[in-house]
Each structure stands twice: as C-alpha cells, then as structure tokens.
Structure 1
Amino acid sequence: MRLRIFTEPQQGASYETLLSVAKATEDLGFDAFFRSDHYLKMGDVPGLPGPTDAWITLGALARETSRIRLGTLVTAATFRLPGPLAVAVAQVDRMSAGRVDFGIGTGWFEEEHTAYGIPFPSLNERFERLEEQLEVITGLWRTPDGETFSFDGEHYRLADSPALPKPARPDGPPVLIGGVGAKRTPRLAARYADEYNVPFTMPDDTGAAFDRVRAACRDAGRTRPMVYSAAQVVCCGRDEAEIKRRADVIGRDVDELRESGLAGTPAELVDKIGRFAELGAECLYLQVLDLDDLGHLELLAIEVLSKL
C-alpha cells in the first residue's frame, strides 16, 4: 500500500505552506504530494490568502523536490481548454523528470465557476467535454514526433497540431479518473485511466465502485492493468486528546470522522487501511486539512506508513 498526501489549498494555504508540506512529504517517505484544483473555499473558513493555481504550484514543486510523484485530485475539465492543458501538464512532467500523475474530472462546484467567470454547463455536457478532453490530451501526448494531431468533436476542434511539447514518457503521465458514478465513470476509466480513485466513501461502497470499474474493463476487453485507489480524510493522534485536538482544528467531530474517514490512533488507521487493501486498493490518498501541522505528517510516517 502506497500512501499519498492530498491537500486542499483553496481552504487557505500559500505557496510557501504547500512547499513545506511537499518537502515534508518527500523527507518522511510518502509516495506523492497531490493537491485539489479549486478556485474557491468551501465551508466556513477564511480561505486566505486565496487560491493557488494547481499546475503553476506543481511546476514550482517539480523543481523543489526530487522523488515524490506530483498530481491533482482532480483537475476540472471545465477550467482549461484541452490543448493548453496538455501543454501545461507535459511541461510540468518534464520539469519533474516524469513524476506527474494527471487526475481529471468533470468539475462540480458551481459557485467557483460563477466567482471566476468560468462557464458551468449541464452535467451531461460536462461529461461530454471530459471525454473529449481525455481523447484530445492523450492523443496529443501520444502523437509520434514529426506527426500532427487533429480532432473534430462536438465541443473541441484541433487541426494539424504539432502535438508539442512531449511529456517525459512516450505515452504520457498516468491518467487518474475518480468518482462513484455507476455508468459513465466506469466506462471512461476503462478506456482512458491508468488509475481509478474512489473518494471519501466507506469501504463497502468503495469495493462496489471498484467492482463496477473491473466489470467495465472486462466489457471493454481491456488487458492493461488498472491501479485502484481511495481517498480518505485523515485525523490521527497517539491518544484521544490528540485526536480530538486535531479534529477540532479542522472543524470535525471525532466520532463522525471515525465512521466516515480515517481517524483514530495509528493502530486504528493501520487496521482500516488494511480493509481498503483487501478490496484491492494499492494506494491511499490521505486528505490532510491542517497544513500547518507537520507533526501530523511525522506521526503518520512513523506510526502508520512504517507499519504497512
């Protein structure tokens, strides 16, 4: 089981804070540093100093780290045109010597679109745009040197693109698709994804979602392997007082976190992570909501990561 640190900077984090978390992630032995791709805070938090752009942040972190993988969970297809997005991700992948994982989804948070003037079409159209973006982005990355890429879709059209720059790997960064949709998400994952992620659900529901994607892979005749992963909010403490202190800081109830997330003592976390492993998860994203508490990361590394 690989553990990855997953951050939500729109809730309030500067680049300097993200850099300190990323460096701690690398120094403590975690597999990756991921961040959300949002432009607006959620809930009753100040959200200061304001959002940081996901791919600008990851480009900077690519030059400040050397081992950990870097990625988004997940970039919204509504935010960027597929051609420029393919350029940006390929460049960050080059800057990191091939350490990028590319997570992409439909986009869902209407208020952030309204706040920053981004169109927010219907869910059906967002899925259509996501599928076309996946075809365009992977097509650009995989076009052989010296050839061009063209695409004529309902929402995007490209003519004779030089398909540059190329990412570090010939087939591009691993593509991550997440969600718990019953039909469209499994079909898209089976066709395009290298990794399928289930965010913030109980183990039984996570297993059911994994099974739907496994079935979609069989139906599509897919032969290449799929990585299955999950994301859980994390709140760990050596005793009940420390657990409660960390839960209070992020405005959550301990009992609720124990039920719906990954909360408790290190032993409790190791046990619950084992349940996800039994379902086939190879990787777990630990959503760390207090980015100033590097001691939390140290505890997770020493008492949880080392036991897996």
Structure 2
Amino acid sequence: MTDHPFQLRVFTEPQQGATYDDLLAVAQATERLGFDAFFRSDHYLAMGTDGLPGPTDAWTTLAGLARDTERIRLGTLVSPVTFRYPGVLAIQVAQVDQMSGGRVELGLGAGWFEREHAAYGIPYPKNRMDHLTEQLEIVTGLWSTPLGDSYSFDGDLYHVVDSPALPKPVQPRIPVIVGGSGPKRTPALAARFASEYNASFPELDDIPTLFGRVREACEAVGRDADELRYSAALVLCVGADEAEFRRRAAAIGREPDELREHGIAGTVDEAVEVIERVRAAGASRLYLQTLDLQDLDHLDLVAREVVPRLS
C-alpha cells in the first residue's frame, strides 16, 4: 500500500466576501504556519450573505498567489466545468503552474449552483456530468501530449482539432482532484483521471463507503487503488476553550452543536479526535474549510495546538 504522508490543507470560500488581499493574508499564514496547501472554492455568488465586496475569480487569484507565495500547493476545490472551456482551462492552469514553479492542482467538478450562473449569464446545462467527462479527457490529454505532437478530440460536446497542446505544465502531471458523493459516475471518473478523490463535507460514518467505491472503480479499470490520494473537506471551528469555540461559531453564523456533528469543531481535544477518525477512515489529506478569513489566530491555534498532537 502506498504510504502517503498525512497533510492538512487550508480551504477558503471567498465568494462569501473577500478581496485578493484578504486571501493573500490567509495564504501567507498557511505557508508560515506549515500547512501543506491553500485551496479556494470557485464560485461567483455568495450564499446566505451579501458577499461584499464581491467575488474574485479563482484562477486569477491563484495566479497572484503563485507569485506571492513560495512553498504551498495551490488549487481549486472545485472549478465547475460550466465556467470555462476545456482548452482555455488547460492553458490557464498550465500557466499558473509555471508561475508557481510547479505547485498547482486542479479540482474539477460538474457545478451545482444554478443561481450563480443566472446571475452572471453563464449557461447551466443539464448534462453537466457529460461535460465533466469530456473536459477531464481534454484537459489531461492536452497536458500529456508530447512536445511537438498535436492533440485532437471529437466528442459529443467538445471538438479539438490539431491543437499544439501548449503551454506545457512544469509538473510532469498536474494533480487532478475529482470529488462528490455520486455512487457510480464520480468514482469511475476518479479512477480514470484523478490523482485524488475528495469527499466533500461527508457524514463521518460515510467516508469509508465513499472511498471504497473509488477503490472498486480503480480495480474495475485495472488501476492500483493505492495510487490515488483519498481526502475529505470539513468545516473548521476550534477554540482553545468552549467560550472561544462558541465565539468562532457565532462569527460564521453556525450553531455549535451542528458544527460538532458535521465538522472539525469544539475544543482542541475534540478537533484532534475528529481528525484522527477521518485519518483512520483512509484519508491522507484533510481540507480545513476556513470561513472567517479575518481570524488568522484560528489557523495559528490549529498549527500550534492541534497539529503536534496528531499521531
């Protein structure tokens, strides 16, 4: 079995209201405090708030962070296929990979938030999983085409004709993340195209089942299931004591009991217990959904008090 070291990644939701400078401060704290990566969602409309000052574009943000950070991995969890044509996306991600010195990862998904599409004039097709399948084929195909060769693809939705398949990424293979809880198509796509499968905000008891489906899909196509990383994303809300935890819960508009049920929440002892439980379920990466981007002390607490206690 491949031994992947356990990693904690910071995951942000900037559509809820953040400037580039807000995100830069979090990314630099992520790097300074020793976390593995800074990831962000890819949304254009806030959920349950006014979202002021307004959305930032995911790949524009990551291009800036590619130059403003030095060590951490950078990526999306996840970019919807509805936002960008696959050829454009392949160019954007390869360019940011070059700008970062080879630190980029691409999370790609079907998209789900219909209202943000209507708000910005973006088509929202019903067959988004078909779009996801062809985009994964094209993006990875363009990147893997040998220098000097051309790439073509004739699908039901996209047609690529004699592309020079440039630019090439710095990394021999940009890691691709596929996530979701679908029982068949999602595991099959992860087995075919992904370097990592992500369970996004799962019930803790469901994690082994979700991972198991991907392992079975790998076996079905003759791929070593241990090649993949298995990860989960969970909301983070931790306090040095109960009062601090409750203050942080109030700041993000969440109920303490609900956070404890669904996230890495409560005191330091509770956070360590949940993380170890996710790890025991087979995850080698955990994305910490950090919702209050002004509270850098929150990340400092996790780095200082939680991380040293992980086995």
TM-score normalized by structure 2? 0.97
Confirm or deny that 1:29 pairs with 2:34. Answer: yes
How many pairs does the alignment contain? 304
Alignment of 1:234-273 (within 5 A): 234-273=236-275
Query: Is 1:96 paired with 2:97?
Result: no
Q: Deviations over 1:189-219 (max 9, x none)?
A: 0100100000111221111100111111111
SS of the equivalent of 1:304 reads helix
Ranges in structure 1 where 5+ consecutive residues have no aligned partner: none
The structural deviation recorded for 1:238 is 0.9
Answering whether residue 21 of structure 2 is matched by residue 16 of structure 1, we say: yes
**2:165 maps to which residue?**
163
Per-residue deviation, 1:46: 2.1
Correspondence for 1:302: 304
Secondary structure in 1 matching 2:227: coil
Counterpart residue type for residue 92 of structure 2:
A
Q: d(CA) in 1 for partners of 2:274 and 2:250? A: 22
Query: Is the contact made by 2:8 and 2:37 (CA closer than 8 Å) also made in structure 1?
Result: yes
Q: Deviations over 1:98-124 (max 9, x none)?
A: 1011100000000000001111011xx
Q: Equivalents in 2 of 1:66, 1:207: separation in Å?
A: 35
Give the structure 2 partner of residue 65 of structure 1.
Answer: 69
Q: Per-residue CA shift, 1:210-266, capped at 9, x if unaligned?
A: 011111111111126010000000000011110000000100000110011110111
Q: Deviations over 1:68-102 (max 9, x none)?
A: 00000000001000001000000000111110111
Counterpart CA distance in 2 for 1:101 and 1:299 is: 26
Equivalent positions of 1:77-226 (< 5 A) are: 77-122=81-126, 125-170=127-172, 172-223=173-224, 225-226=227-228
Match of 2:178, SS state, is: strand
- Structure 1 stretches of at least 4 aligned residues deviating more than 4 Å after TM superposition: none
Uncovered stretches (5+) of structure 2, i.e. residues with no partner: 1-5
Task: Describe how 1:39-50 pairs up with structure 2 within 5 A.
Answer: 39-43=44-48, 45-50=49-54
Distance 1:270 1:212 in 2: 27
User: What letter matches 1:163 in structure 2?
Assistant: A
**SS of residue matched to 2:10:** strand
**Pairwise CA distance, 1:185:** 0.3
- Contact 2:204/2:262 (8 A) holds in 1: no
Q: Percent of pairs identical after alignment?
A: 62
Output the CA distance in 2 between the equivalents of 1:13 and 1:94. Answer: 26
Matched residue, 1:227: 229
CA separation in 1, counterparts of 2:295 and 2:157?
A: 43
Counterpart code for 2:8: L
Deviations 1:126-147 (A, max 9, x none): 0001000000000000000000
Match of residue 53, structure 1, among 57, 63, 80: 57
* Distance (Å, rounded) in 1 between the aligned partners of 2:95 and 2:44: 22
Name the residue aligned to 1:4: 9
Whole-angstrom CA distance in 1 between matches of 2:267 and 2:130: 43
Letter in 2 for 1:35: R
Shift of 1:299: 0.3
Aligned counterpart for 1:275 among listed residues 274, 277, 291: 277
Deviation at 1:306, TM superposition (A): 2.2
What is the CA-CA distance between 1:307 and the residue it aligns to?
2.1
Does the residue aligned with 2:167 lie in a helix, a strand or coil? coil
Q: Tell me how far apart the structure 2 counterparts of residues 258 and 196 of structure 1 sit (CA, whole Å).
A: 24
Structure 1 residues 196-205 or 131-140, which shifts more? 196-205
Cα distance in 2 between the residues matched to 1:293 and 1:169: 33
Q: Calculate the TM-score normalised by the size of structure 1.
A: 0.98
